[in-house]
Amino acid sequence: MKKVRWGILSTAKIATEKVIPAMQEGKHCTVKAIASRKLEKAVKTAKRLNIEKAYGSYEELLNDSEIDAVYIPLPNHLHVPWTIKAMYAGKHVLCEKPIGLNAIQAKNLLDATKNFPKLKVMEAFMYRHHPQWEWVKRRIKEGKIGKILSVQAFFSYYNTDPNDIRNNSDIGGGGLMDIGCYCISLSRFIFNSNPIRVCGSMEKDSHFNIDHLTNGILKFPSGSSVFTCSTQMIPYQRAKIFGSKGWIEIEIPFTVPPNRPCKVWIGNGIDEKEIKMEICNQYTIQGDLFSKSIIEDKDVPTPLEDAIENMQVIDAITLSSKSEKWIEIK
């Protein structure tokens, strides 16, 4: 079975603790190289994770002719520049979310991809590939809960580490960019459309100058969505979808653990059922699906246009908070 040869740009925690081990379990992935700005760190990480090659710069890895694709878990402000550099080096790219700092950057990236029609580029919203969301979408399509009218999403954690990149406003830190983007993505995914206007409220941390608490309302053509995200609150996440005939609640909508079954509930006001989903690793599934799109030369599961649309909503929520007005999305 053919496998895509992967290189990892950075020894970021999400890469070394979640994505790399998961991809190493994939049917279509083999992780062959990892790069850091410090060679010693790359060598140490490569040895720990049983990766063949280690590089002391990202450029060196991109120049490796044996690497087909790269995964980019760099800070948000580096996503677009290094994705473009990777394409110029002839590499396919799976880049962490959010794809850039704003919709303009995302559009510029899409324009850049047109110069490389044979290369695949995708934003890494791993949650969409978990079977629980296939189950949810199928129930909705079957009309089990009727017309979708409202989506509620909540995502939080507690982090006041001044050295954490997520608390650095200059490089795209903050709750909305880090986890609020999931809530927005989910709402668009469930409604299968984009909001027509949004309203946002962001509370800033006076020390870090990042939003530590953001609330948003998204008005869609056929319903609405509300979300809360926070970087200084008790760790928690949950999503609930309300329809004209019933509801669906998802226990762990985003960071689903790979070692135990997660739960989904469905009810109609009379009966309520609990469904345990199969144990799987959504990062493994994401890596394999993207790799298959390379091997079979087919469209990636989530096109860059979706990343642009998500960034447009993020931009609008930010603008709404500053202006204290509803913002129309064209």
Please report, for the chain, the start and end positions of each structural domain, with discontinuous segments joined by +.
4-126+285-302, 128-280+311-328
228-271 confidence digits (pLDDT tens): 999 999 999 999 999 999 999 999 999 999 999 999 999 998 99
Residue 46's Cβ-count burial label (10 Å; 0-12, 13-18, 19+) is buried
The model's confidence at residue 6, banded by pLDDT at 50, 70 and 90, is very high
Judge whether residue 1 has pLDDT over 70.
Answer: no
Q: Say what the pLDDT of residue 330 is.
A: 84
Contact 140, 190 (CB under 8 A): yes
CATH class of this structure's domain 128-280+311-328: alpha beta
Judge whether residue 17 has pLDDT over 90.
Answer: yes
Q: What is the architecture, at CATH level 2, of domain 4-126+285-302? A: 3-Layer(aba) Sandwich (3.40)
- Record the pTM: 0.96
236's torsion region: left (phi>0), alpha (psi -120 to 50) or beta?
A: beta
183-241 confidence digits (pLDDT tens): 999 999 999 999 999 999 999 999 999 999 999 999 999 999 999 999 999 999 999 99
